[in-house]
Amino acid sequence: MTFPKGFLWGGAIAANQTEGAYLEDGKGLTTVDLLPTGEKRWDIMFGNLPSFQPLEGEFYPSHEAIDFYHRYKEDIALFAEMGFKALRVSVSWARIFPNGDDHQPNEAGLTFYDNLFDELLKYDIEPVVTIAHFDIPVHLVKNYGSWRNRKLVSLFEAYAATLFKRYKDKVKYWMTFNEINMLLHLPFVGAGLVFNEGDNKKQIQYQAAHHQLVASALAVKACHEISPGAKIGCMLAAGMTYPYSCNPEDVWDAMDKDRESFFFIDVQSRGEYPGYAKRFFKDHNLIVEMEEGDEELLKNHTVDYVGFSYYASRATSTDPEINNMTAGNVFGSIENPYLEKSEWGWTIDPKGFRITANQLYDRYQKPLFVVENGLGAVDQLTSDGKVNDDYRIEYMKKHVEEMSEAIKDGVEIIGYTSWGPIDIVSASSGEMKKRYGYIYVDKDNHGQGTLARSKKKSFDWYKKVIESNGEVL
Ligand code: BGP
């Protein structure tokens, strides 16, 4: 038996990609509610926002998503049928504080998540809760400039403390920012950053990163004070960067690229800015403003575990000839000739999962939590409405096998919540067509469909994996 007793098998979703009901029961508009699909989506995610309101005639996938807000009981019953031990969900900040800076929380929002957690606990499913999963109240972007403004630190601290106080008897696992390193790649999604002509983007991004790191430390402090039995973690988009050759320049470049992501987790996990980050700031003339007490906060309030998403490994080369073979992903990774790719060009690298888990555990020596892993694919319905997603079973089987190897390597892993156990809106593309689920949802890229749920072939496969605690794959 490789997986420890009590291993938290389950799935992961996010409020903005599942709930819909985007203005219901007092919820405020969030940054993700301003993301249409296609090119416009990417343009905004890079920090170019045309309007603080949805534009006439555009389709916004998050507005209805898969209507989890009204259908969560049905969906949780299906997760329970698979035997889930945990479900990772996120709280939408704008359901609790519609403008982000309201003096009182929105009771209807708090009640929704009370009901959601109660429904999970009814089936002995642990809620694993992300406090911020890319959706920021638009009011904070419009009136404060979002995370470029230090004021967000105290607003986030108040939001997090409200959650800990309200749900301390229901939630044992928290994490602060989803994929905190995405701030560097998709600044609007990661931190609600909108750039103006002439902005020094790197300066703004690293100042915003500091604000998020301080806010995360304050949330850790508040969690430990308010809910002492709970565990609170950080979370990064992980995936080791391979050097394209054994040329030391490539090796250094790969290490440098991984440090771009590790920077955030080094601070949240070790409690201080690493030397390479200080050199980077100096070399790029970046001045990260810190307030009195910030360094002490970071030092004294590090996380209990390191959460991460793993979809693919990355590759880099210092040879310009090779470098122009970019695989087009946000990390600027180049093609890896040894690996297959998904229909969206993401490499499929199960061994990379074992490598990445070992790399993170070697670096942090803290429990790891795999809070996202999965295959986004175009699922075809058979004439009798079935989805024979053997390709997804294959992907998941190989990744669970490598995770098992990592545990045998001595890597401590708390659980595995596969991404999108039910089809939901894709974060990067806004498409429903990019499906991850063991459960099919009848909705297409244009919002058409009945939203009916149906089990794919992988539903029973995953059920057996959980029943056998990872022995039957
Ligand atoms: C991560 C996000 C998730 C999820 C996942 C898959 O960045 O944390 O929200 O979306 O990526 O990405 P996509 O939905 O674009 O396929």
pLDDT band at 323, cuts 50/70/90?
confident
Average confidence (pLDDT) over 358-380:
98
Q: Does the structure's ipTM exceed the value 0.90?
A: yes
User: Percent of the chain beyond pLDDT 70?
Assistant: 99
Q: For residue 447, report the distance from its CA to the centre of ligand 1, in Å.
A: 19
Which amino acid appears at position 83 of this protein? Answer: G
Tokens linked to 312: 């693919």
pLDDT band at 332, cuts 50/70/90?
confident
The radius of gyration of the chain from alpha carbons, rounded to an integer in Å, stands at 21
Q: Is the CB of 309 under 6 A from ligand 1?
A: yes
- Closest-CA residue, ligand 1 atom 16, reads 426
Q: Is the CB of 178 under 6 A from ligand 1?
A: yes
pLDDT band at 325, cuts 50/70/90?
confident
The residues annotated with a catalytic role in the active site are: 179, 372
Q: For residue 13, report the distance from its CA to the centre of ligand 1, in Å.
A: 9
Write out pLDDT tens, residues 96-124.
999 999 999 999 999 999 999 999 999 99
Neighbours of 284 (CB within 10 A): 11
Query: Residue 426: is its pLDDT beyond 90?
Result: yes
Say if strands 453-455 and 8-12 run parallel, antiparallel, or are unpaired.
unpaired
Which of 372, 417, 425, 436 to mutate for ligand 1's pocket (most ligand atoms within 8 Å of CB)? 372
Three-state DSSP class for 330? coil
Q: Is the CB of 179 under 6 A from ligand 1?
A: yes
CATH code matching the domain that covers 8-467, chosen among 3.30.70.260, 3.30.1330.20, 3.20.20.80, 3.50.50.60: 3.20.20.80
Q: Which atom of ligand 1 is nearest to the CA of 420?
A: 4
pLDDT score at 324: 77
- Closest-CA residue, ligand 1 atom 10, reads 427
CA distance 238 to 359: 10
User: Percent of the chain beyond pLDDT 90?
Assistant: 96
Which of 19, 182, 428, 433 to mutate for ligand 1's pocket (most ligand atoms within 8 Å of CB)? 428
Q: For residue 428, report the distance from its CA to the centre of ligand 1, in Å.
A: 6
Write out pLDDT tens, residues 53-78.
999 999 999 999 999 999 999 999 99
Say if strands 453-455 and 439-441 run parallel, antiparallel, or are unpaired.
antiparallel
Write out pLDDT tens, residues 383-397.
999 999 999 999 999
Q: Domain residue spans in the chain?
A: 8-467
DSSP annotation of 389 reads -
Average confidence (pLDDT) over 403-409:
98
Average confidence (pLDDT) over 300-309:
98
Three-state DSSP class for 189? helix
Q: Is the CB of 54 under 6 A from ligand 1?
A: no
CA distance 290 to 150: 10
Q: For residue 343, report the distance from its CA to the centre of ligand 1, in Å.
A: 15
Asked if 72 and 114 touch (Cβ cutoff 8 Å), the reply is no
